[in-house]
Structure 1
């Protein structure tokens, strides 16, 4: 009898099972019986479904990655071929257009799960976005913020590198200020207006390593304004940091990921000086975590939308006439004036 009593006393006590329904009274009581520093209670009606709760925070598959390294090409292998493209701006200060169109290309592929591999044209931006460029030609620098805005409002057509015969408007080292509202590639079968694709929104990323990493991991490549010193021209491999030479200017690059090289943290970046620059096929690594050459302070990117913008629905989207373009521009002007008026009104009142 005593032996049986001792066996009952020493037998393990079964743990209380966790209730399955996260909004049930039992589950709330289960939480409050825990040794916790917070209190649970009812915030949602009892008839709230699991699907309703998931919509509040999203129902996305968790992404696992090695925090020591990341490459957008590995994250989205079906877009690796277009993301790996290194553009060549030639003898022209055109990085302000080349880096954004590369990100447009990357993100269009990523957001369509590899279904659309559309090589955006820097030529189209450098000749047709007057607010983007400094001076009359496209090779004297430009404003990346206006590039994103131009993509959102007016759209950008396709176009490959110099003499590539790829897309609507291949690159032509845009010293000419003239904007051509037709495809310059005579062998391309799509009209200029029909070829345009549009961005949805653009935004800056905080000067924070984890914010930049998160953006890369969730949505793909970004651009960064990078301060160039004369020693950068001689970069071959390894993790770049400024050591010698004078300030040259600001340059826009594409960030694709991060990693460690012999224990040194770096951002993996893409140049637009062609594949023959350096020993990494046009890519380079720059010191990560200390805002080296301003690489982390001015990071921007954008989201993709469908090919035809809402503004173009005002007229026949297949029309290539000057009247079509005039109506679109008038509507855009009204929208922009309304935005400026709202800003001015807020400052007054």
Structure 2
């Protein structure tokens, strides 16, 4: 393995850094004592999440003591009690300080919904440590649960203060046990954000955001769209290139073609927001009226896509044509979960005639955007959980164009201090990023921004 790949693996930033289920382990590394075979997969998943990013010699082994399962909505919620053994580690490239073998007692909660696992809770402590429910506990009681990376001595105290500010800023409420867990997640995320910051080649700044108390798995499951990389989607005709030298900068926001930033909430509906944003721009350019269109109509009535579990822009365009148009946000308001379709053809205010796939050449994309309007694109959302402002430019192995998982809207492009960027309208509200916008390096195919570009056609 190349040295730089080993570095990313050790940092825990390389996609797929978690051990595969069938990866060889040392003898006795994994022993299962299960009340039911049904607990095997959730226990394996909990262990993989715990070991995510750890090098081979430092991964923990897990022994389930007891477990139970109960139904939760359309899925199953698994509660596991387990002992977890972390091996001794004396490798200075991994541990930096000698670490002796230790045994922890852990509680895990794993949700399995529609075949996908999500780690909802991880609460680990020394086997001789009693976990209480004392409601008078202070932040200092959470400190031993911080990420075990070698950190400055005063890191725990500073992190407790930062976490307390986060809780106040974003109006979080936790019970005592969840506060412990979220504090440890938050601290791990701050370490991860620092690593992303150190490796970014742009001007972006990463740090505390409204998503900082979510695990990577929770964030991916709730807010991202795995279908973008898992399914090919409906083939669209390729748009003709425009023989046009684009101006050095362009911004459809200043020209009235972009509605305000919206918020998809706890729903993987980015595909619907990307498409409605594109259609809003197309309608404005052809008809001169900017209308805020209904994403909820697509969640409820597009029977090919999967509502909050993800979808594809190509299928959404087809659904709009099949339905006969889109209603406005006012007439068919957003709820952020699947409902019964209540589309009314009489209320449809906008229609489209076709949809096209656009060139992967970024110069041609800029030309198309400047002439034709905002573009629906899909990107790899690496680092976006902690993005605050600036132009993001992750290393290509960290933000692979073949692992796209989030649909957004290109609304402009330009340069800041000689750094070229795409201006991207996101759908996570105005309290994320630069008032809801994301800026990504232009001209390098960063994060696959040029891989899945498309647009509706309004005649």
Q: So what's the TM-score if we normalise by structure 2?
A: 0.44
Q: How does 1:22-37 map to 2 (within 5 A)?
A: none
- Could you say which residue in structure 2 is the equivalent of 1:175? 338
Find the structure with the greater CA-based Rg: 1
**Residues of 2 paired with 1:296 and 1:181: CA distance?**
33
**CA contact under 8 A between 1:157 and 1:169: conserved in structure 2?**
no
Does 1:291 find its partner at 2:445?
yes
Q: Per-residue CA shift, 1:66-112, capped at 9, x if unaligned?
A: x32111234xx3x25xx141111011000011110011112111111
Structure 2: 5+ residue stretches without partners: 1-242
What is the RMSD computed on CA atoms of the aligned residues? 2.4
- CA apart distance, 1:123: 0.4
Residue of structure 2 aligned with 1:262, choices 417, 420, 444: 417
Question: After TM superposition, which residue ranges in structure 1, 4 or more long, deviate above 3 angstroms?
Answer: 62-65, 243-249
Distance verdict in 2 for CA 1:195–1:143, change over 3 Å? same
Distance verdict in 2 for CA 1:86–1:251, change over 3 Å? same
Q: How does 1:282-321 map to 2 (within 5 A)?
A: 282-305=436-459
Residue of structure 2 aligned with 1:92, choices 251, 267, 276: 267
Distance verdict in 2 for CA 1:246–1:259, change over 3 Å? closer
- CA apart distance, 1:117: 2.5
Does 1:139 find its partner at 2:308?
yes
Does 1:234 find its partner at 2:403?
no
**Residues of 2 paired with 1:154 and 1:118: CA distance?**
18
Does 1:130 find its partner at 2:303?
yes
- Secondary structure at 2:389 match in 1: coil
Q: Per-residue CA shift, 1:47-69, capped at 9, x if unaligned?
A: xxxxxxxxxxxxxxx9997x321
Q: So what's the TM-score if we normalise by structure 1?
A: 0.57
- Could you say which residue in structure 2 is the equivalent of 1:205? 358
Q: How does 1:157-172 map to 2 (within 5 A)?
A: 157-160=326-329, 166=330, 168-172=331-335
Structure 1: 5+ residue stretches without partners: 1-61, 161-165, 183-191, 306-349
**Residues of 2 paired with 1:267 and 1:194: CA distance?**
35
Q: Which one has the bigger strand percentage?
A: 2
**CA contact under 8 A between 2:259 and 2:280: conserved in structure 1?**
no
Distance verdict in 2 for CA 1:249–1:212, change over 3 Å? closer
**Residues of 2 paired with 1:130 and 1:121: CA distance?**
16
Distance verdict in 2 for CA 1:84–1:101, change over 3 Å? closer
- CA apart distance, 1:196: 4.5
**Larger relative contact order, structure 1 or 2 (CA cutoff 8 Å, min sep 6):** 1
